[in-house]
Amino acid sequence: MKIGLIGLGKLGSAMAKRLDEQGHELIVYNRTLEKAEKSGFKYVKSPAELAEKDVKQIIINVYDSKAVNDILGANNGLLEGNLKNKIIIDTTTNHFDSVPNFHRLVKNGGGNYLEAPVIGSVIPAEKGMLMIVVSGDIKAYEQARGVFDSLGSKIFHFPETGKATKIKLINNMVLASFMATLSEAVSMAEKTGFSKDEALDLLAVGAGESKILNAKKAKLLSGDFSPHFSTRALVKDLEYMEELAYSFQQPALIGGLLKQMYTMTGAKGNFNDDFAAIYDLINNN
């Protein structure tokens, strides 16, 4: 199957690699053209050019809703090309207020928009082990199922607009909470005489047993916080989550605190580090 893909960041590149291995033919676009040139895939110089290609499905994986809006509606955006009967699969973690407009814009352009945020980062994407939550038209979802099956091991569909985006934001609050709790637990264990390795092994068979511990154990042991999922991206998602809570008059007590903690992590280190770098913030204070 011939597929368009927009966004060659770490996750987008991992998805492209996986789709290529699964036999899909890719045509890619990236805002920084040099990345597209070096990707090894056929590439175009604008989203509008991609929309004119013989692709039935176009995946978007970019940083935030502003970037998605530009991909769709800016000069040489997708909406300036031919979207008739095309399916836009947006795997970006978006603001919940933005996705209804994205659905409308693509529909008015003759296509179908599926919000399809993914749960998991680079390594699960490379292995086809992402969890994908999809909202949008059921027929479009069924037509795009081949793409979802190539990228994900667990796939959920909801017809209601916005539902996938909202649960992704809630999930990332849980992700942030687990990582902060594990970091504090490891730091406390070290200060009581356990090695980091011992602490992680004990937590892994006790209350700390979790996908997040398994995924971040190597980073905690090595202190290498090169990003799979950056602190900057998590802070953005926590801001969206906090606004979601406020939209139905619920105080984001834990989520708000987590947003402050990860903001401090970025400010004291590097916002581009993996979010597991919160261990350094906790351990050094």
Distance CA 222, CA 93 (A): 29
Domain count, the chain: 2
Do residue 20 and residue 109 come from a single domain?
Answer: yes
The pLDDT of residue 62: 98
pLDDT confidence bin for 170, thresholds 50/70/90: very high
Q: Is-above-0.75 flag for pTM?
A: yes
Mutual angle of helices 163-191 and 196-204, in 10-degree steps: 130
Distance CA 87, CA 59 (A): 8
Of the three residues 160, 181, 206, the one that is the final residue of a domain is 160
Do residue 182 and residue 128 come from a single domain?
Answer: no
- The verdict on whether 163 is a catalytic residue reads no
Do residue 175 and residue 127 come from a single domain?
Answer: no
Distance CA 15, CA 18 (A): 5
Do residue 98 and residue 43 come from a single domain?
Answer: yes
Token pair recorded at residue 22: 């699964």
Do residue 12 and residue 148 come from a single domain?
Answer: yes
Q: What is the pLDDT of residues 177-205, one digit of tens each?
A: 999 999 999 999 999 999 999 999 999 99
Of the three residues 131, 160, 189, the one that is the final residue of a domain is 160
Do residue 13 and residue 132 come from a single domain?
Answer: yes
- Phi, psi dihedrals of residue 118, rounded to the nearest 5°: -105, 145
Token pair recorded at residue 78: 């997708």
Distance CA 259, CA 265 (A): 10
Please give the residue range of the domain that contains residue 266. 166-283
Q: What number of CA atoms fall less than 13 Å from residue 26's CA on the CB side?
A: 27
Of the three residues 126, 160, 194, the one that is the final residue of a domain is 160
> Could you count the other beta carbons within 10 Å of the beta carbon of residue 147?
25
Do residue 142 and residue 187 come from a single domain?
Answer: no
Do residue 101 and residue 35 come from a single domain?
Answer: yes
Give, in degrees to the nearest 5, the angle at Cα 237 between 134 and 136.
15
Domain at 196, CATH number:
1.10.1040.10
The pLDDT of residue 211: 92
Do residue 149 and residue 189 come from a single domain?
Answer: no
Do residue 126 and residue 170 come from a single domain?
Answer: no
> What letter does residue 230 receive in the DSSP assignment?
B
pLDDT confidence bin for 1, thresholds 50/70/90: confident
Q: What is the pLDDT of residues 21-34, one digit of tens each?
A: 999 999 999 999 99
The pLDDT of residue 93: 98
Strands 118-119 and 130-135: antiparallel
Do residue 221 and residue 247 come from a single domain?
Answer: yes
The pLDDT of residue 285: 80
> Could you count the other beta carbons within 10 Å of the beta carbon of residue 14?
23
3-state secondary structure of 27: strand
Do residue 152 and residue 171 come from a single domain?
Answer: no
Q: What is the pLDDT of residues 108-137, one digit of tens each?
A: 999 999 999 999 999 999 999 999 999 999
Domain at 153, CATH number:
3.40.50.720
State the catalytic residue, choosing from 86, 168, 216, 219: 168
Mutual angle of helices 253-268 and 163-191, in 10-degree steps: 60
